[in-house]
């Protein structure tokens, strides 16, 4: 528990040893479920709650803060890592109203079984005056669910954006203390969760540019006392700017694909193109997602298994398509034994990307000189396209 400003406390929970989120996303630095208590002269509000696994921590913080009653519980986002403790909170504080927007009201009814009579439904830019503490609610759909809203505390210029600007980073300090560590964790978080909604986030950043922000208190990770750090990072990540980089997820069974990847990596480096290979048998998908944020090109390298791509290549291709990075060019390098439809399958999985499909390199058996020539031609083409972007 920590004070952000007079009358505003952080009362959430840290989960240092959680290592997987949604049974998918690695959490090398753990995570937090941040909740915030706001006390006005007339009413008290709790902004967001915590994952049900940590609700005892939330109640302990509220007890230590001397909270005997709550007037409002704000649900910025209905996903259970923030909303899961709401039923327990509403049971403990029977006079409290759950502040939700219309779409969120639908979600908490379905997911949390909260009855309509416990809800206070607000519209975009509506306010609640707690007495010297005025909360304004800013609708922000698709960061990263359709019902998300942000809460802005006017007098203190604090933005409570729930998942927006978050980071899966558990540390003992409440506030950001290491800019580099924060930005690395926030970029991983953006890549894995927010990147598919880049266009919507750009619009929300434009909206927030009209607000005075002295502090940003997200639902995951430390609180920002210097909001420009994370705002500037997001402005870059959601822009159309791409870097002179190739992301190269690959898998190899008998050495042919690995050899092609080695030659391709060297050929790109000689041409001044940074390349980031990811061996899919051992790579962290969070690291792969982070690399996708800025890269101009993605090339997927895989052997053929039966008649199609290796399952690990399928998984990586699905991830690339789902995350919808701003990648300009995509390609395939494929080795095969006797036939198959690997290239067609992978290209057909990349329909969400607004990217040019490069001529594939397909190799039967172990690579030969003509195959190395094809790899060099692919590297040439990528280097040229990257130069033309400038």
**Domains, the chain:** 2-237 (3.60.15.10), 246-383 (3.40.50.360)
pTM listed for this prediction: 0.94
Helix extents (H) in 94-197: 102-112, 179-189
Q: Which residues pair with 335 in a beta bridge?
A: 303, 363
Q: Report the SS3 class of residue 89.
A: helix
- What is the residue whose two structure tokens read 């206070």? 120
Nearest to 331 by CA among 255, 386, 253: 386
Q: Are 119 and 183 in contact (CB under 8 A)?
A: no
Q: What is the pLDDT of residue 22?
A: 82
Question: Phi, psi (5° rounding) for residue 324?
Answer: 50, 60
Give the tens place of pLDDT for each residue, 153-168: 999 999 999 999 999 9
Q: What is the pLDDT of residue 189?
A: 96
Q: What is the pLDDT of residue 170?
A: 95
Phi-psi region of 107 (alpha: psi -120 to 50; beta: other; left: phi over 0): alpha
Contacts of residue 12, Cβ cutoff 8 Å, sequence gap at least 6: 32, 33, 34, 35, 36, 48, 50, 57, 58, 61, 219
Q: What is the pLDDT of residue 390?
A: 66
Q: Are 209 and 259 in contact (CB under 8 A)?
A: no
Q: What is the pLDDT of residue 23?
A: 82
Residues in the chain with pLDDT values less than 50: none
Q: What is the pLDDT of residue 20?
A: 86
β-bridge pairing 149-153 and 361-364: unpaired
**Residue 250, both tokens:** 């690959």
Q: What is the pLDDT of residue 26?
A: 86
Phi-psi region of 361 (alpha: psi -120 to 50; beta: other; left: phi over 0): beta
Q: What is the pLDDT of residue 163?
A: 97
Q: Which residues pair with 36 in a beta bridge?
A: 10, 47
């Amino acid at each position: 528990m920590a004070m952000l400003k007079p009358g505003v406390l952080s009362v959430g929970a840290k989960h240092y040893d959680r290592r997987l989120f949604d049974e998918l996303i690695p959490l090398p630095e753990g995570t937090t479920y941040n909740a915030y208590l706001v006390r006005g002269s007339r009413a008290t509000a709790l902004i967001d709650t915590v994952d049900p696994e940590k609700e005892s921590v939330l109640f302990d913080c509220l007890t230590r803060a001397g909270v005997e009653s709550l007037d409002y519980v704000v649900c910025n986002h209905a996903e259970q890592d923030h909303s899961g403790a709401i039923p327990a909170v509403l049971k403990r504080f029977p006079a409290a109203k759950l502040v939700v927007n219309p779409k969120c009201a639908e979600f908490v009814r379905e997911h949390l079984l909260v009855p309509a009579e416990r809800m206070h439904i607000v519209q975009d830019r509506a306010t609640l005056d707690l007495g010297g503490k005025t909360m304004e609610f800013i609708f922000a759909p698709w960061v990263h669910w359709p019902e998300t809203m942000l809460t802005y505390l006017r007098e203190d210029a604090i933005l409570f954006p729930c998942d927006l600007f978050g980071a899966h980073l558990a540390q003992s300090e409440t506030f950001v203390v290491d800019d580099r560590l924060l930005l690395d964790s926030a970029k991983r978080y953006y890549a894995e969760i927010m990147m598919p909604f880049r266009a919507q986030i750009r619009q929300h950043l434009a909206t927030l540019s009209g607000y005075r922000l002295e502090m940003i208190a997200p639902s995951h990770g430390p609180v920002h006392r210097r909001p420009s750090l994370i705002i500037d990072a997001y402005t870059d990540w959601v822009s159309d700017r791409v870097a002179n980089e190739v992301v190269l997820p690959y898998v190899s069974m008998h050495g042919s694909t690995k050899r092609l990847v080695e030659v391709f990596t060297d050929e790109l480096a000689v041409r001044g193109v940074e390349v980031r290979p990811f061996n899919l048998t051992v790579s962290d998908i969070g690291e792969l997602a982070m690399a996708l944020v800025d890269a101009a090109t993605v090339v997927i390298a895989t052997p053929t298994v039966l008649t199609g791509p290796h399952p690990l290549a399928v998984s990586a291709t699905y991830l690339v398509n789902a995350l919808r990075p701003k990648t300009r060019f995509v390609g395939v390098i494929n080795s095969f034994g006797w036939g198959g439809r690997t290239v067609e399958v992978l290209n057909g999985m990349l329909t969400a990307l607004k990217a040019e499909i490069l001529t594939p390199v397909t190799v039967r058996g172990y690579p030969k000189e003509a195959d190395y020539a094809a790899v060099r031609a692919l590297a040439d083409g990528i280097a040229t396209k990257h130069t033309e972007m400038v």
